């Protein structure tokens, strides 16, 4: 089993103490988001590797040497300001954290995500070209792999359409991003790819790849895994992972987020968080059904 920590929320940024408590205690409980009374109990002895996904790796840096599992890190680093990402720490601090991560987990186990890209009057093509080139310059020698995606119209995106003020991509936009980003990445010893995008930009030098490929999973664990479940009506070629997060619990409040759509619920959930609970949000209740999950 490979744990995803987490696509549903930023556990590293806001709940590292909880995660390390669970890791040392040896198990974590996860409510099924579609059947809340059903809880999966995951024992860390059954975990082959951990994939951390975060906008802010700073809280977990000092704990990583306590984890004796293979680790893969995805750090999202985007050039947006407080109007779009109100609670993300200064990007200069995230850059330094990525450099430290590279030395701890190894450059091959670290991906930076420039994700998602949207275009507006403020965040136009020129802005993204300059931001991506600067990011590559600052991370030269520390990062080899960058993943790019484009904004999707999730519920939260539609709700924040006025603040985002984004426009549709044209073919010329894709060409400009594809050629510019490929050139910047190559200049700094990096590859750039999309993952499961309708436009993979391979014609402009982007790699065709996955967030976690079967090849990399095998290198990390020596095991083979099933594909991730279908999404967008198609199949993703990423390896299947088990997410231990909870939707509507991330305090970054990014305007484009797919996992948050109700800020009141985020705040309510955050108040229910207990670092000593086996659940990320709330406590085990008397009528909960707990089933051990081994894969």
Write down the pLDDT at residue 235.
55
- Mean pLDDT across 257-267: 94
Q: What is the pLDDT of residues 33-87, one digit of tens each?
A: 999 999 999 999 999 999 999 999 999 999 999 999 999 999 999 999 999 999 9
- When pLDDT is cut at 50, 70 and 90, the band that residue 209 belongs to is confident
Domain-by-domain residue ranges, the chain? 2-293
- Mean pLDDT across 261-265: 94
Lowest mean pLDDT among 27-31, 206-210, 224-228, 233-237: 233-237
pTM listed for this prediction: 0.95
Q: What is the pLDDT of residues 150-189, one digit of tens each?
A: 999 889 999 999 999 999 999 999 999 999 999 999 999 9
Tokens coding 274 = 């207990």
Mean pLDDT score across all residues of the chain: 94
């Amino acid at each position: 089993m490979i744990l995803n920590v987490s696509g549903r929320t930023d556990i590293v940024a806001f709940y590292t103490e909880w995660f390390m408590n669970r890791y040392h205690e040896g198990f974590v409980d996860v409510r099924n988001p579609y059947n809340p009374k059903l809880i999966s109990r995951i024992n860390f002895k059954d975990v082959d590797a951990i994939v951390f996904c975060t906008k802010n790796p700073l809280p977990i840096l000092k704990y990583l040497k306590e984890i004796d599992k293979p680790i893969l890190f995805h750090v999202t680093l985007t050039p947006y300001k407080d109007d779009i990402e109100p609670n993300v720490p200064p990007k200069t601090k995230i850059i330094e954290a990525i450099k430290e991560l590279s030395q701890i987990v190894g450059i091959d186990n670290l991906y930076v995500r420039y994700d998602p890209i949207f275009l507006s009057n403020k965040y136009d093509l020129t802005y993204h070209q300059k931001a991506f080139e600067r990011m590559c310059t600052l991370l030269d020698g520390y990062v080899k792999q960058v993943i790019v995606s484009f904004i999707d119209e999730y519920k939260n995106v539609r709700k924040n359409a006025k603040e985002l003020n984004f426009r549709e991509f044209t073919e010329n936009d894709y060409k400009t991003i594809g050629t510019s980003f490929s050139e910047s990445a190559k200049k700094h010893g990096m590859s750039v790819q999309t993952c499961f995008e309708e436009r993979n930009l391979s014609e402009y030098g982007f790699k065709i790849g996955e967030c976690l490929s079967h090849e990399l999973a095998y290198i990390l664990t020596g095991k083979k895994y099933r594909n991730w479940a279908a999404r967008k009506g198609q199949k993703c070629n990423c390896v299947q992972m088990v997410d231990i997060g909870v939707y509507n619990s991330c305090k970054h409040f990014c305007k484009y987020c797919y996992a948050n759509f109700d800020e009141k619920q985020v705040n309510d959930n955050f108040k229910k968080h207990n670092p000593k609970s086996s659940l990320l949000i709330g406590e085990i209740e008397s009528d909960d059904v707990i089933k051990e999950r081994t894969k």
